[in-house]
Chain A
C-alpha cells in the first residue's frame, strides 16, 4: 500500500521554522497513522475473504463456523473505518465542483474552510459518541449474540478510525491556506 504517497509538505517562507517543525510532525503523523490504519484495513479485508471462503468450504464437509456473520461484521467495520482517513488523504469521497469551480479563488478558500471545519466538528462528535457507545457496551458487559464475545473493543477501534478522518480533514484545512 502506498503509505508514503502523501508527501511531507514544502513550507512557505512566512511560516517560522518552529511552526514548520510542528506542521511537519503533524503532517507526517497524519500520513503515517492513516497509512498504518490502511494496512490494518487491508489485512481485515483479506481476513474477511479468507474466513468467508473457508467457512463456505467447511460447511460442505461439516458444520459451519457459527460466528462467521459476527466476525465478518467486525472485520468489515475495521475495514471501513480504518480506511476513512486514508481515503480522505486521497480525496476519494464524491463531491460536486460544478458551481464551486466558478467562484473566485478567495471565496473558494473561504467556502472550503467552512465546509472542512464543519466536517471536522461533525466527525469529532462521531468519534466522541462512538467511543461513548463502546464504553457503554463495556460497562453493560454486552456480549455478541452467537459467540458470546465482548465486542466493545471493535467499537472503540471504529471510533479511532474516525480519528484518522478528523486528522486528515485538519491537514486539508491547513493545506488550503499554505
Chain B
C-alpha cells in the first residue's frame, strides 16, 4: 500500500536521510520525557539545582514509592474506569454514527455533524459550572461511572469526526456489493467496512482514550475524593502545593501514568503497523 515499491539503489541514501531526520526529531520529542523520568529518579535536593543536569547522580526509587501509595492507586483505577469506559462506549456510539453521516446522509445530517464538531470547541472551563449543576441533579458526582457519562460528550465528537473522515472515502462499490449480497447496513459496517478501516479506527480509539485520560477540568469539577471518582490528572495537580511543587513525586506519578496510555497506543496502532508491513512486502 505504501509508495515504497521497488527500491532503486539511490533510495539507500534516502533511507539514511530518513533515519537521520527521524532520529533528530525523535531526540527533540524525547527530551522533555527524559527530563521527566530522570527527575522522578532524583532525590529532591538534586532536582532544583542550577544549572539543570539531565541525569541523576544518586538515583532513588523513593518517589515511586509515594506514587504507588494508597491515594494514587485510587486515582489510577478511577482514570482507567473513566477513560476506558468512555472509549468503549464512545466507539459503540461513534462508529455507527460516523458511518451514517458518511454514507447515509439525510436532510439536516450535515447540520447535525456540524453541531457535533462545534461542541468540541467550547472551552471546558466555561461549561464546568452547568455540567456540575446537571450532574448534581443526576446524582453522578464523585464516581468514576459519572465521569464515563461526562466524558462521552467529550470523546464522541472527536471519534465521530475522525471516523467520518476515514469512512467518507471508503469505496462505495464495496458497500454496494455487500448490500447486493443481502447484508444490512450494520452487518456491512462490521463485516466489510471496519476490517478495512483499521488505521482510522486505531486513531479514533487512541485519541478518544487519550482525551479522556488527560482530561482535567471536568474531572476536577465533578469529583471530590480519591476514594470517589478523582482521576490521576487531578491527583497530579495536588502535588502543586501553595509554596512548592513536589517535583520528584509528580514526575514519578506521571511516569507511571504513561504506562496504560502506552499500552493503549501499542494496541490501537497495531493495525497501522500491519498496514505498513503490508506496504513494505507488497512492493
**Same complex origin of A and B:** no
Interface of B toward A, CB cutoff 8 Å: none
